[in-house]
Structure 1
């Protein structure tokens, strides 16, 4: 009695509070699981890496290393700013604090559209990947729509449950999908590849080829969503440490792992033969390699794990979207109902339900139009989302030095100026590469590609009149946009003057 009685009253305020996400639920590994799972390593490798090899030749592994290094440079300023800005709005909060509220509100809309695009389009991939797996294993053809709808319900349930439940699920699925790739790599290394192991992929003559630009475009897309570590700071244990660690862990792992796996597949076929094999059957390249070096049973497992890889990516993005929706509802930009948190699971369940309903509507609309689930639902919805997230990264990189110019701090110039400026130049280059090679992502006409490219900047620009409307019609919501949560301490530095300087500055934002 004496043990249970004190606990009961504590649940009442938790259930009735406006925001009751469960603090201290996630450690470094948990947050990294969300980020790496969102990237879907197995799906990226088996589904996209063969195209990178086809276009860039045996130097393709270096493209993934270069993309990882670029995002690691971006992470320097990004994680430094995360110690100062505690808002749950992540990207849009950072951008608001550095570039002002109008730009931040445009970024908030862009984040919503970008993350939703990255998730909803993947339900088309879930349908086609499951079709391929069932056909490969059982020789049976199934319709894609019921699979996609079932996936929507399953992911909706996963987002409804507690965040630690999601972390456990993602941990298991991530081990499965990375494990099968490690098994492939081990088989190739143990057998010495097709003609012995070679470091020719690293030779400058094989890296500096015309196709490398296309490889870099694919490589940057393969990291999409890594920055979502900051979204989970309200549920992280010791967020000042776990969030930066999870960010660097995710970027470092993905960059090295992608490059290593692509290199081992090059070794599996040989430097001279791998491009020809990728041209003949890009979708079967990884399955052929694992069948040869491990066995047919491993190829069957890879088929199954591609489906679970897609599910893991969907759950990771779903959780990120829900928390963006929660943050914007708390800001007063979205309906307040979306800010409700489940009293037991401590999840933003209303935002999750709304996101699931939106997903169902989009999937059914594409089906009613007779669209292809892969070539149109996936690629046409995913592509604007990918461009939107790259634009958010660019804006965040620009925001870092602008923010630190206006506050007192003890951070070094490397973290607050040099690294963010370098990241700005590198990310701008990445966006140019993606846009100029957009046809490789979509396979669509120039008219469709133009529309897909313009979606992200158009959404961002819509935020500017919305900001003006909020400023005049809802000044309280505008003034409190991207403000620090009550009771938070903004500055992480031990220097006493840092706190009042930072808490005073947000009120001066335009």
Structure 2
């Protein structure tokens, strides 16, 4: 099968194929795709996990600024991402964009990096899920079982839903998402209405608060909270009107998630007071508690806290399911391009889903969970934190490569630029520079995230880079470049 590689010699031009490329189809609208993307962001999980870690290990009361910075940088990134979307006809998100902008070799490297990045965060979420579900069961008087037991149980359910039609997953994620956003909005509102512990102020956004601890930690966990936002492009083939749906869903997802994270993290700070919040959250984490649930009980009541604890588990489930769908579609599109075994590009006749790819993804997650469980790692520090660190480095690396791809594509295709300097050059350049700064902040504070030695932390941080190099140097990459050059020659001839 001839690989379908978008060419760089004109807007949206693609190489010829020897046979039709397998494709999914569906009728997802802006709301449906937003549900998939925001569910992957897992708002309740991020506030109760990444947000608290950003406060405890980062600048304390200044932690909301980390989410503000990440949201702003991703909005800048989205400008070039959306502007290039009409010229990237294939689903596949980062892989497809980098393939068009920088060529097949870099595209394959990005594909490997993306698979490692999303697999890492999904496996990390299985660790978090196993811990949270066991905590919930024990809270209600049930038996305490190993985290991996619950992880295996959830993996089975996710595998069944992932095998089915995407619209079923969208409905499940939509319901879970509405409930989890609702409880956090209620908590935020009550905190601000009651005036918090020390009175509502803008202390969190002051220079003193931002510089009170490592801002890089807050930025790292903030980016981890946005993981999966570019999945708007992954579901391109299943969108009702992709040229309109994808841009709208991308902008809305980043804006909604960015504002939600920033305000909710700020509410936690105000709930305990800027002068006390770092100590309160740190003590809660040290005792295996959850300051978000404690805040809910303090301001709204124990019944509300219990309901939020249940929704924390459903939020984790929605996140894992969403990542499962994203990874299976990454594999599906790579197989459709001849980069993975073509069996992975099979479409189920009745479910219209990438069922084989979904099964392979479930098997991959199962193997990794078995390995991590066999190593006796702690589900939060050993599994979740380490995997979140790997995925954050991978995500920012992909964001940088995609921004460079946008710049290079419009530099080479002047007709596609159509006189638009701001959206095709200026903003993507700012995005590239901003992402490089963010990557520096993340790497310079990486040992604090993993809680491991410099050597181990460096090995974990290098995993996405190694995946990129493997893709760049693989024999498949060389064949793709040769095939692309041959097609260019035949066209020019």
**TM-score greater than 0.5 by the shorter chain:** yes
Partner of 1:314: 320
Separation (CA, whole Å) in 2 of partners of 1:52 and 1:471 = 42
Determine whether 1:145 maps to 2:148: yes
What's the offset of the Cα at 1:161? 1.1
Determine whether 1:128 maps to 2:134: no
TM (normalized to structure 1)? 0.87
Determine whether 1:444 maps to 2:433: no
Which residue of 216, 225, 237 maps to 1:234? 237
Partner of 2:84: 81
1:334-349 correspondence runs (5 A): 334-349=340-355
Which residue of 29, 40, 49 maps to 2:51? 49
Which residue of 399, 402, 424 maps to 2:405? 399
Separation (CA, whole Å) in 2 of partners of 1:99 and 1:455 = 22
> What stretches of structure 1 of length at least 5 have no aligned partner?
1-16, 481-503
What's the offset of the Cα at 1:427? 0.6
Separation (CA, whole Å) in 2 of partners of 1:199 and 1:307 = 32
Are residues 396 and 20 of structure 1, via their aligned partners in 2, closer, same or farther at CA, if it must alter by over 3 Å? closer
1:128-152 CA-to-partner distances (Å, cap 9, x unmatched) read 1111112223264122222111111
Partner of 1:378: 384
Which residue of 272, 275, 286 maps to 1:272? 275
Separation (CA, whole Å) in 1 of partners of 2:434 and 2:117 = 20
Separation (CA, whole Å) in 1 of partners of 2:34 and 2:476 = 38
TM (normalized to structure 2)? 0.90
1:437-475 CA-to-partner distances (Å, cap 9, x unmatched) read 112321122221111011111111111222x44544995
Partner of 2:433: 425
What's the offset of the Cα at 1:250? 1.0
Which residue of 168, 171, 179 maps to 1:168? 171
Separation (CA, whole Å) in 2 of partners of 1:382 and 1:278 = 20
Separation (CA, whole Å) in 2 of partners of 1:37 and 1:479 = 43
What's the offset of the Cα at 1:477? 8.3
Separation (CA, whole Å) in 1 of partners of 2:490 and 2:281 = 53
Partner of 1:109: 112
CA contact (8 A) 1:220 1:430 kept: no
Mean alpha-carbon deviation: is it higher for 418-427 or for 275-284? 275-284
Partner of 1:296: 302
What's the offset of the Cα at 1:311? 0.7
Separation (CA, whole Å) in 2 of partners of 1:192 and 1:414 = 42
CA contact (8 A) 1:331 1:477 kept: no
1:204-243 correspondence runs (5 A): 204-243=207-246
Separation (CA, whole Å) in 1 of partners of 2:209 and 2:270 = 15
CA contact (8 A) 2:138 2:144 kept: yes
CA contact (8 A) 1:56 1:210 kept: yes
Separation (CA, whole Å) in 2 of partners of 1:288 and 1:376 = 24
Which residue of 13, 28, 31 maps to 2:30? 28
Separation (CA, whole Å) in 1 of partners of 2:207 and 2:375 = 47
Determine whether 1:453 maps to 2:461: yes
Q: What SS class does the counterpart of residue 181 from structure 1 fall into?
A: helix
Q: What SS class does the counterpart of residue 121 from structure 1 fall into?
A: helix
1:340-396 CA-to-partner distances (Å, cap 9, x unmatched) read 011111110100000001111111122223232332232333432221121111100
Partner of 1:462: 470
CA contact (8 A) 2:105 2:480 kept: no
Separation (CA, whole Å) in 2 of partners of 1:378 and 1:284 = 16
What's the offset of the Cα at 1:291? 0.5
Separation (CA, whole Å) in 1 of partners of 2:283 and 2:30 = 42
Q: Name the Cα RMSD after superposition.
A: 2.3
> What stretches of structure 2 of length at least 5 have no aligned partner?
1-19
Mean alpha-carbon deviation: is it higher for 275-284 or for 231-240? 275-284
Separation (CA, whole Å) in 2 of partners of 1:507 and 1:222 = 45
Total equivalences in the alignment: 468
What's the offset of the Cα at 1:424? 0.3
Separation (CA, whole Å) in 2 of partners of 1:113 and 1:422 = 27
